[in-house]
Amino acid sequence: MLVKFYLNDTLVSYDVRPDEYLSETLRSHGIKSVKVGCNESTCGSCTLLLEGKPVMSCSVLTASIENKHVTTIEGIQEEAAKIAYHFAEEGADQCGFCNVGYALVVYALKKNIKNPTDEQINDYIVGNLCRCSGLHSQLKAIKAYLKEE
């Protein structure tokens, strides 16, 4: 089945299986920044933005996103660099496997909630797991990024 959608503001058209997940589709078309960790929507490694909201791409059928907007880390390079800087400053980027998912979630958080509380930050990032560093360093990095204009 042919599915058309906007990938980082570029209209694409991919031939996909009806049971194919978005993470599979993107990776098969060279978007390797979309990681696959658990394949069960529990780790957040496959996070991307769908219509500006964070979603786990391993649980979104590609067939369901006709004419929608998908944003990967490639679509937010300038902001991703800022987020990466703060993660590095706080030692929150150990192996880096979770960083892409975190960056997209944090970017969406900044766009969607002005001056979030700690509770709102925690609610936003709850689906993204890091196995290398503690949550404390990520929270410090996120707060530093959110203070930027």
The enclosing domain of 60 has a CATH number of 3.10.20.30
For residue 3, the model assigns a pLDDT of: 98
| Sole residue written with tokens 């797991």 | 129
| H or E element, residue 116 | none
- What's the rounded Cα separation, in Å, for the pair 133 and 67? 38
| Sole residue written with tokens 């707060």 | 143
Mean pLDDT, the chain, integer: 88
User: pLDDT for 7-61, tens place per residue?
Assistant: 999 999 999 999 999 999 999 999 998 888 666 666 677 899 999 999 999 999 9
Question: Which of 34, 57, 74 is the C-terminal boundary of a domain?
Answer: 74
- 10 Å Cβ neighbour count for 5? 20
Cβ–Cβ < 8 Å for 23, 58 = yes
Question: Which of 53, 74, 95 is the C-terminal boundary of a domain?
Answer: 74
Per the structure, the complete domain to which residue 80 belongs is given by: 76-147
pLDDT (mean) for 88-112: 82
Both 70 and 9 in one domain: the answer is yes
Both 92 and 105 in one domain: the answer is yes
Q: Pick the residue with more confidence: 89 or 65?
A: 65
For residue 6, the model assigns a pLDDT of: 98
Token code pair at residue 100: 């892409």
Please tell me the total count of domains within the chain: 2
Both 13 and 27 in one domain: the answer is yes
Both 52 and 97 in one domain: the answer is no
pTM for this entry? 0.88
Residues pairing with 6 in the sheet? 11, 69
Both 80 and 125 in one domain: the answer is yes
Quick one: pLDDT band at residue 122, thresholds 50, 70, 90?
confident
